[in-house]
Structure 1
Amino acid sequence: MGLEHPLVRDVFPELVSELVALLEEEGESELAICAWDLRLVAGCGCTDAFCQSFKTEPHPDGQPFGPGHRCVPLSPSKGMIILDVVNGKIMYVEVLDREPLQDIRVGGNGPATQVTPGPAEPD
């Protein structure tokens, strides 16, 4: 993956600070370190207004995660945050039932994708 995808900490600094703190609380220090360098690859593409989830890595072969996958549910004060982790790498951040982060566009080499709130749509 190239550097064309913005760092999540540059786009959502409060969310990354919260992720790091929540991961530390869960005893997930290695993931807490990794959370600092996550890249915002794409929105989830769903049409649910309560969802602000996003990919931090491309899915393997465009498919679900497969072997080495685990879910890491966190306990934020509001809403839900669940991480999809494959072999120690955070691949996807589920952000549900929370106030909107902000409306940003990510893209890289292809058309930009709306990350929050709502569905992913090309510009």
Structure 2
Amino acid sequence: MEQDAVEQLAVAQDGPLVRDVFPDLTAQLVRLLEAEGEHRLAVCAYDLRLLAECDCRNAFCQSFRTHRHPPGTPYGPGHRMVALDPGNGFLNLDVVDGRIVYVELVDRPPAAPGLTAAVRRR
């Protein structure tokens, strides 16, 4: 395995499982992805790790990273955005090479008061 791949795997495993912190959100992600025909992403959604919260500090944002952001912005080749319809607010996923790297939660009821605490426990 290449060093970069080993490093990415280590980073991806360094955080609590989203399903443990936000079980209802994980269930919703899986359900919405299945409904969109995104079966591979639905499987991936069950094993997402909470790596870092969004640093925008806006009250309406509960977004978080599930993988380290590559240098530069935007994500580059292999990136696509998957917009889901949760019925309230916005739920968008940044996907790079078939991997969910960022979950955007905007204008939604609080997922849980534990986002910051879960990220800081790492």
Band the TM-score falls in, shorter-chain normalisation: 0.7 to 0.9
Q: Is 1:3 the counterpart of 2:3 in the alignment?
A: no
* Counterpart amino acid of residue 95 in structure 1: L
CA separation of 1:2 and 1:57: change in aligned 2, threshold 3 A: closer
Q: Give 1:91-110 correspondences, 5 Å limit.
A: 91-104=101-114, 105-107=117-119
* Conserved 8 A contact 2:12-2:51: no
2:52 alignment partner, one of 14, 30, 42: 42
Q: Percent identity?
A: 55
CA separation of 1:62 and 1:6: change in aligned 2, threshold 3 A: farther
Query: What TM-score does the superposition give when structure 2 sets the normalisation length?
Result: 0.83
> How far 1:67 sits from its partner (Å)?
0.7
Distance 2:68 2:118 in 1: 13
CA separation of 1:23 and 1:61: change in aligned 2, threshold 3 A: same
The count of corresponding residues between Structure 1 and Structure 2 is 109
* Conserved 8 A contact 1:81-1:94: yes
* Conserved 8 A contact 2:53-2:64: yes
Structure 2's unaligned 5+ residue stretches are: 1-10
Q: Is 1:73 the counterpart of 2:89 in the alignment?
A: no
Q: Is 1:85 the counterpart of 2:90 in the alignment?
A: no
Distance 1:57 1:5 in 2: 10
Whose helix proportion is higher, 1 or 2? 2
Specify the alignment match of 1:119 in structure 2: none
Deviations 1:73-109 (A, max 9, x none): 00112111000000000000000111111222244xx
Deviations 1:22-71 (A, max 9, x none): 00000000000000000000001112111100000001136431110000
CA separation of 1:66 and 1:6: change in aligned 2, threshold 3 A: same
Query: What TM-score does the superposition give when structure 1 sets the normalisation length?
Result: 0.82
* Counterpart amino acid of residue 46 in structure 1: C
Specify the alignment match of 2:7 in structure 1: none
The CA RMSD over aligned residues, in Å, is: 1.5
